[in-house]
Chains A and B, each alone.
Chain A
């Protein structure tokens, strides 16, 4: 079955520390991978995407993610977080042959503390 898993529902981290938000998927077909960020009371914004090519993808606000096909993962990283990065982060996957369907993970709440 095709699925997306974000194991960490909450990740607390101190300001200026590095962070990694985990995303794993299950699929027998090719995938296209996305990370979205949602600030309180707002809609989602696209952070970055992997469609093909280089497995290391850089996005907005200093975030990057690496596609690891053997581990079926697409973890999001930032070397030094800021208070303003506090938000909920969603991993999403489009499975080849799935049309316009984007399957979202359940989200990870990143809380940056002083």
Chain B
């Protein structure tokens, strides 16, 4: 039982490059979340998805896009990476729609030079 799986675990990008962070859950959860974690700031919600095909902006959506094409997967895309997006990114999920996340992935550590 894998839970929430994020790929890649580590990535280094140059400013202006694009990339997609992948997230998949095998618990048949409805809600999925993307957070970023920065030193001294706790976690901040980037985007949220209550179900397949629906997404909502969180606190810090600028510079990111998301896609929830099916129930299992929720991807986060950086179209043109900036150094300010250097962070640790966490995907999370929840069985119900709405409320707090229950399960988190192990994170993707992203550095943008």
Q: A residues within 8 Å of B by Cβ? A: 4, 32, 34, 41-46, 49, 90, 92, 94, 99-107
Residues on B lying within 8 angstroms of A by beta carbon are 4, 31, 33, 40-45, 48, 50, 56, 58-59, 90, 92, 98-107
Q: Is the CB of B90 within 8 A of A102?
A: no
A83–chain B nearest beta-carbon distance, Å: 22
Contact A104 B42 (CB under 8 A): yes
A34 in contact with B43 (CB, 8 Å): no
A49 and B94 alpha carbons, distance in the complex (Å): 15
Measured CA separation A90–B103 after assembly (Å): 15
Q: How far is the CA of A3 from the CA of B100 in the complex (A)?
A: 17
Q: Are A102 and B106 in contact (CB under 8 A)?
A: no
A74–B85 Cα distance when bound, in Å, is 32
Indicate if the CB atoms of A94 and B43 lie closer than 8 Å.
Answer: no
Q: Which residue of A lies closest to B38 (CB)?
A: A106
Contact status A43-B100, CB under 8 Å? no
- In the complex, chain B residues whose CB is within 8 Å of the CB of A94: 99-100
Nearest-CB distance from B92 to chain A (Å)?
7
B104 touches A45 (CB 8 A): yes
Is A100 a contact of B41 with CB atoms below 8 Å? no
